[in-house]
Amino acid sequence: MQSREELQHALEELKSEHGEWAYDIPLPFNVWTKGDLQVPHTRLKRIVQIVSDLSRKPLSECRVLDLGCLDGIFSIEFATHGANTIGVEIREANIKKAIFCKEALELHNLDFRLDDVRNISVESYGRFDAIVCSGILYHLPAADAIDVINRMYDIVDRVVVVDTHVALEHIERFVYGDDEYWGSVFREHADSATLEEKTKDLWASADNPTSFWFTRASLINILGKAGFSSVYECFVPAHLNFGKPGLEHRDRCTFVALKDEICDIATSPSVNTLQEEWPEDSLSYAPDAIIQHERRPLHERVVSRLKRMRA
């Protein structure tokens, strides 16, 4: 075990070489990666609670996969509870910071892998009781995001937590096989951005210049189509504005997808073959956006609707 001074010196050296930490993580000797900002991480609380509630076993008996883990706070938290945890991160600088924290905390049940979340498979990672997909899905192109959801379904045994941004309006149509989904395109990087510039931008995609944000209805339909037996949205524990009053983002939400046997209904057998999907705007929680939309001049709304019909 190194001394407090040695730990602090190593922390400063790593920060000087690879930049500031994404998260404020507590280390031994009351050393914090960002100096103990005392900012409540309510999203971390929400996600750990979800997995604890729904995994059907103690966290200490779970195997957890954390996708797009940055410098590792979610992975570290689950490992602290005894879960065998793997954090996956595409940026080497983040992996080095995460491993630094793991070693300082002597978490032998924690592993970090330098990899693209689009590569996960049973063959390369094995199976998991829970998968945390927080802050990564909305950084992917539409087809890649759907593929990652399908891959998560393949390798999880119980619960997937998807914390993500959603599009508040169905602006762009995306066709995947025989299915149609809606959302909006989000600009991640300038077309002229170099790979080095993209790598340094920790809060953006690793390579793709644009990503796709699905609407709430489309994302729920994608999770259902993947095969999950039920999908929920979490409201408690609340994730607000980092401990401040009010929402941090109106378009950020947490979905929980459970994988279990599909129940056959005996007293209403016709429901067993019924396949339903949520229509667009049926799950909109964005009254401000809707009001703004309805306040636009009538001719603008008509032109917008015609464009969507022709897309």
Task: Look at residue 195 in the predicted model and tell me its pLDDT.
Answer: 85
Task: Look at residue 311 in the predicted model and tell me its pLDDT.
Answer: 47
Stated pTM of the model: 0.89
Q: Could you give the number of structural domains in the chain?
A: 1
Task: Look at residue 300 in the predicted model and tell me its pLDDT.
Answer: 57
Block means of pLDDT (10 residues each) for the chain, 311 residues, are: 89 94 95 93 95 97 98 98 98 96 97 98 98 96 98 98 94 95 95 87 88 96 97 89 65 95 96 92 65 50 50 47
Task: Look at residue 238 in the predicted model and tell me its pLDDT.
Answer: 86
CA distances from 187 to 99, 172, 190 (A): 31, 14, 8
Task: Please tell me whether residue 91 adopts helix, strand or coil conformation.
Answer: coil
User: Angle of helix 216-226 relative to helix 142-155, nearest 10 degrees?
Assistant: 40
Rounded to whole angstroms, how far apart are CA atoms 170 and 175?
Answer: 13
Q: Are 7 and 104 in contact (CB under 8 A)?
A: yes
CA angle 306/307/308 to nearest 5° reads 90
Task: Look at residue 286 in the predicted model and tell me its pLDDT.
Answer: 58
Beta pairing, strands 31-32 & 26-27: antiparallel
Task: Look at residue 150 in the predicted model and tell me its pLDDT.
Answer: 98
Structure tokens at 271: 């429901």
Q: Which domain holds residue 107?
A: 4-310
Rounded to whole angstroms, how far apart are CA atoms 211 and 146?
Answer: 12
Task: Look at residue 2 in the predicted model and tell me its pLDDT.
Answer: 80
Residue 204's domain is classified under what CATH number?
3.40.50.150
